[in-house]
Amino acid sequence: MHAIDTQPATPAKGLALHYKVLIGFALGTVAGLTAHATALDAAWIHGLIEYASKPFGQIFLNLLFMLVVPLIFSALVLGVAELGDIAALGRLGWKTLLYTGAVTAAAVGIGLLCVNVFQPGLHMDPALVQKTLSGNLLKAGEIVAKGNDLRLMDLLVNIVPHNIVGAMADDKQKLGIVFFALMVGIGLVMKPTPGTRAFKNAMHGLFEICMHLIGLFIRLAPYAVAAFMFNLTFQLGWDVIRSLVWFVATVLVALAIHGFVVIPLWVRVMGRMSPLAFFRGTQEATLTAFATASSTATLPVTLRVAEDELKLPRKVSRFVLTVGASANHHGTALFEGITVLFLAQVYGVHLALPQQLMVLVLCILGGIGTAGIPSGSLPVIAMICGIVGINPDGIGIIIGVNTFLDMCRTALNVTGDLATAVVVAQRSGERDLPGDDDLGRLDEIVR
């Protein structure tokens, strides 16, 4: 078996990509707020957004999304095939499921605790609520309609696709692709023939192509995030942001607690790795996730970071991260819990402890079933609201700030995936992971 080069196209020397992303974020935000304050009704600004910044941002995401299906399929097939036996796959799968469930439950618990402490829904002006709802009524109705089409049993049934081609074309059926890739990988392990070895080599080639192309496309990320933030802040301005400041602050505090307290402790205690080394090694993937607001679009960068910066074994990282991009959404589950209770507070619906525990369970399951695409959690939130007796049209209240919060929670999703890979690798006894002594080496690796 030949070695796989997971390096993308070599970037030009200069400022590291993740710093360029931060600069793009800052410039786009300042430009958008300035334009909102000084030229809100200017036709040329609206034309710039409609015919330049919005299409550019969508093209950037499309370039990444077109690689998602071949990358998920090839990475997971190779990850399973390289395990070598079915028993090893079972052990790795159970560890991944156990650790993912435990940490996702902790994330939702933190979210529910924060929303009960800060009670952001009680700080909303009823008149402003009605104004916001009326402005987003059509979009909220579309989201609720999607939520009405979702059922938890359907999420489970769709894990086994009846048409793999259809599953590849449907963002809501990414778990079906994961299942199919697992079956193909198991078939490769069970049937080692010249034909299957040739197929495995073809998967190696497909994986290399995807990784190389993403290295080219990702160079556009700083410009894309500048376009995203310009569009968002021009549309919102400070007024909408101020009106939802309690909700936004509650989400950000909960994300920060999970991201900077729970995950570092988990990495240190269970993964035997320095949290500082972990964060330094993962910063490129985290910022790419923030820029794209999509864990699946970030997957190529996540895989490269795991193997090149964190030095995780391929057979662990490809399995854990590919599954994680489709099913391990810590930040999304946390956000879903906060949003459901926030809307309950806005509408005066009292949810007792048993009902909040039901919300916790539904958010864990919803985090698994959420599509790893921008705003993929909103239909799931609508479904959960309907189950616990909250008007799902209330989603219209938070639509304005959802894009920014989507970027934040996606960054936590990807960081959580990488933390899970670190813990699974350590607990599987695959290798010694870098600790404090490796910080110097990581400084040379991280761009």
pLDDT digit string (tens) for the chain, length 447 residues: 444 444 444 444 577 777 888 898 889 989 988 998 888 888 888 899 889 988 998 898 888 888 878 888 888 888 788 777 777 778 888 888 888 888 889 999 999 999 999 999 888 777 666 655 554 444 545 555 555 555 666 667 777 888 888 878 776 677 788 888 888 988 888 888 999 889 989 998 998 898 888 888 888 888 988 998 888 788 776 766 677 889 999 999 999 999 999 999 999 999 999 999 999 999 989 988 888 888 888 888 898 899 899 999 988 888 889 888 877 788 888 999 999 999 888 888 888 888 888 888 888 877 665 655 555 677 778 878 888 888 777 777 787 788 888 889 999 999 999 999 999 999 887 655 444 444 333 333 333
Q: What is the pLDDT of residue 143?
A: 54
Give the amino acid at 296.
Answer: T
Q: What is the pLDDT of residue 375?
A: 57
CB under 8 A, 24+ apart: contacts of 215-220: 215/7, 215/8, 215/9, 215/10, 215/11, 215/300, 216/8, 216/9, 217/60, 217/63, 217/64, 217/67, 218/8, 218/17, 218/64, 218/288, 218/300, 218/301, 219/11, 219/17, 220/60, 220/63
Q: Are 399 and 242 in contact (CB under 8 A)?
A: no
Q: Are 436 and 273 in contact (CB under 8 A)?
A: no
Q: What is the pLDDT of residue 221?
A: 85
Q: Are 220 and 296 in contact (CB under 8 A)?
A: no
For 91, which DSSP code?
A: H
Q: For residue 285, what are its two tokens?
A: 């993937």
Angle at 91 between CA 89 and CA 92, to 5 degrees: 65
Distance from C-alpha of 431 to C-alpha of 249, rounded to nearest angstrom: 39
What stretch of H or E contains 178?
A: helix 174-190
Report CA dihedral (299, 301, 307, 309) to the nearest 10 degrees.
-140
Q: What is the pLDDT of residue 69?
A: 84
Burial class for 93, CB neighbours closer than 10 Å (0-12, 13-18, 19+): middle
Query: Which phi and psi (to 5°) does residue 390 adopt?
Result: -110, 140
Domains located in the chain, CATH noted: 84-178+238-445 (1.10.3860.10)
Q: What is the pLDDT of residue 412?
A: 94
At residue 343, the 3 state secondary structure works out as: helix
Angle at 8 between CA 29 and CA 290, to 5 degrees: 25
Q: For residue 309, what are its two tokens?
A: 């910066």
Burial class for 277, CB neighbours closer than 10 Å (0-12, 13-18, 19+): buried
Q: How many alpha carbons lie under 13 Å from residue 213 in its C-beta half-sphere? A: 18
Q: What is the pLDDT of residue 72?
A: 82
Q: What is the pTM of this model?
A: 0.76
Q: Are 442 and 311 in contact (CB under 8 A)?
A: no
Tell me the H-state helices in 218-274. 221-243, 245-257, 263-269
